[in-house]
Amino acid sequence: MDIEAFRKAGYQAIDRICDYYYLLQDRPVVPSVQPGYLLDALPDSPPEEGEDFAAIADDYQKYILPGLTHWQHPSFFAYFPTACTFEGILGDLYSTSTANPGFNWLASPACTELEMVVMDWSAKLLGLGDHFLHSSGKGGGVIQTTASELALVVVVAARERYMRMHSDTKAESLVIYTTTQTHSLGVKAGLVFGIECRALEVRAEDAYALRGATLKNALEEDQKRGKRPFILIATVGTTSSGAIDRLDEIGEVAKDHPSLWIHIDAAWAGVTLACPEYREVAQLDSINAYATSFGTNFHKWGLVNFDAALLWVKDRKDLTDALDVTPEFLRTKQGDAGTVVDFRNWHLGLGRRFRSLKVWFVLRSYGVEGFRNYIRQGIKLNEHFASLVRASPKFALVTPPSFALTVFRLTPSGPHTFTDSELNDLNRTFYARLSSRHDILLTQTVLNGVFCIRFAVGAARTQQEHVDRAWEILQREGAVAVQEFAQRKLVNVP
């Protein structure tokens, strides 16, 4: 494709993306395709001769779009949102147009320096302490791909720091602390490194937050059994229920354990720190006082297109001491002189995309106020949803709503009194009905044995009307689920 053909295909792509967003809310959220639909539709080998791009672009509309789950749909309430803004799209477009893997400063100075700039900007946006800034000369931030990979980076750095502090440590005595509510990134880190992962218990009455006393007991137990917990992955805003670990208590306990690395995973909820009114509940002061590292994904609720997982560390040397590999073919005079940051030593890979560009575009186009307003809008919509649940005799919150996430379930009142097991059964029936629909998407979870449903707001186009429509669907499907359950179990329901 030559330059002018690209101009034509590029304009067409822009136009079709515009069409996509004009028509998005008329599409189903979830496609109706069956497993294998595309494998069956496409040839099983690449073409021998090149094809005209117009035909390829048309096939995107014909085969791909109908097989997408539309995460940007205003009725998408599943998982957590993935940000997709026009500014983010443009950032990715400019970035991919030059394909500069800025792994060293010299490999593209602008890539390295813009990342330093936007990481300091983002830290200030969130109210992170100066010790996390590049300008501190000691700490600093780096953009990783996902929260899971970010956690792997942190675990390596924490392990190596621990081994330097305690050189007698046997690998098999190492333990990663998480809670039973930590995202799967904790268990995955354990699998990847072959390190024991201990999930500390949390209680419903604490809204699934880790308490200091639980941590303290675990540390004492592990000391007795010769185990070496070297990192705690605490969470601000768990995936299942938006729980916020008690960082104040955790920090106090950790004071007696200076080799325990405290990583705060705020992949989803970290962006709420942009709003001064949420800093207390999201425990900003404790993050600044106690966190060795802090991560939040701007690609979730932070307006920046996937991927942009932001990681800050108090001491950049913890990363570079663990991850620096400099073969001859990667040496540069600036790197040798130590005058520049070479981000290849701050992550797992070598090559890296120019992700800071889209962060820069978004932060400038929205400004601090625009960013805050977007977060506030999501929280307001969720408060609206939670108020509908609260007011209904047929539904109940399972745990207090958290920012833009509500976890709820069907709880029909008499004449039949539902056992815990029956309520789970009923709600599984209810969820199965919901997940067979194509006009809405929610996800399930289990909280200490209670099967429940997550309602996560935050897609950029979601308005109150979409929440209200979702509530209508939930009421209707809930009523049918109760009837179905009653017929199946031969019990009386209202």
Instruction: Choose, by CB under 8 A, the member of 58, 62, 96, 130 that binds a second copy.
Output: 96
Total residues binding a second copy (CB under 8 A): 149
480 near a second copy, rule: CB under 8 A: no
Our finding on whether 442 is near a second copy (CB under 8 A) is no
- Residue 118 or 254 having the CB closest to a second copy: 118
CB of 206 to a second copy, least distance (A): 20
* CA distances in angstroms from 156 to 84, 182, 190, 231, listed in the order given: 31, 18, 11, 10
In the DSSP assignment, the letter for residue 441 is: B
Please pick, from the candidates 137, 329, 391, 419, the single residue that binds a second copy as defined by CB under 8 A. 329
> Is position 165 an interface residue for a second copy (rule: CB under 8 A)?
no
User: Which residue number, 49 or 256, has a Cβ lying nearer to a second copy?
Assistant: 49
Minimum distance, C-beta of residue 423 to a second copy, in the bound complex (Å): 16
Distance CA 213, CA 10 (A): 58
Among 164, 166, 255, 331, interactor with a second copy by CB under 8 A: 331
Binding to a second copy, residues 339-378 (CB under 8 A):
339-340, 348-353, 357, 360-361, 363-370
Closest CA to 162 of 360, 369, 321, 316: 321
Cβ proximity to a second copy, 443 vs 475, nearer residue: 443
**What part of residues 288-307 is at the interface with a second copy (CB under 8 A)?**
299, 305-307
425 and 491 in contact (C-beta within 8 Å)? no
Options 6-14, 284-292, 386-394, 417-425: segment touching a second copy (CB under 8 A): 6-14
Helix (H) / strand (E) containing 24: none
29, 72, 77, 311: which one binds a second copy (CB under 8 A): 72
Task: Using CB under 8 A, pick the residue from 29, 70, 142, 466 that binds a second copy.
Answer: 70
Q: Enumerate residues 371-430 that contact a second copy by CB under 8 A.
A: none
Query: Hunting for tokens 């993935």 — which residue is that?
Result: 82
Q: Which is nearer to a second copy, 339 or 419 (CB)?
A: 339
CA distance 295 to 56: 39
State the pairing for strand pair 293-297/261-265.
Answer: parallel
Give the Cβ contact number of residue 52 at 10 Å: 10
Within residues 181-200, the interface with a second copy by CB under 8 A covers 183-185, 187-188, 191-194
Going by DSSP bridges, is the β-strand pair 174-179/196-200 parallel, antiparallel, or unpaired? Answer: parallel
Q: Which of 64-72, 382-390, 420-428, 477-485 is the region at the interface with a second copy (rule: CB under 8 A)?
A: 64-72
Q: Which is nearer to a second copy, 113 or 383 (CB)?
A: 113
β-partners of residue 140 are: 313
By CB under 8 A, residue 316 contacts a second copy: no
Both structure tokens of 316: 């950049």
Which H or E element spans position 66? none
Instruction: List the interface residues with a second copy, window 117-136 (CB under 8 A).
Output: 117, 120-122, 124-125, 135
- Pick out residues in 210-269 that bind a second copy (CB under 8 A): 239-240
Closest distance of CB 84 from a second copy, Å: 4
Instruction: Tell me the window of 67-75, 211-219, 251-259, 421-429 that interacts with a second copy (CB under 8 A).
Output: 67-75
3-state secondary structure 126-187: HCCCHHHCHHHCCCEEEEECCHHHHHHHHHHHHHHHHHHHCCCCCHHHEEEEEECCCCCHHH
Sign of CA pseudo-dihedral 128, 133, 136, 137: positive
Long-range contacts of 7-16 (CB under 8 A, 24+ apart): 9/53, 9/54, 9/57, 12/57, 13/57, 16/57, 16/61
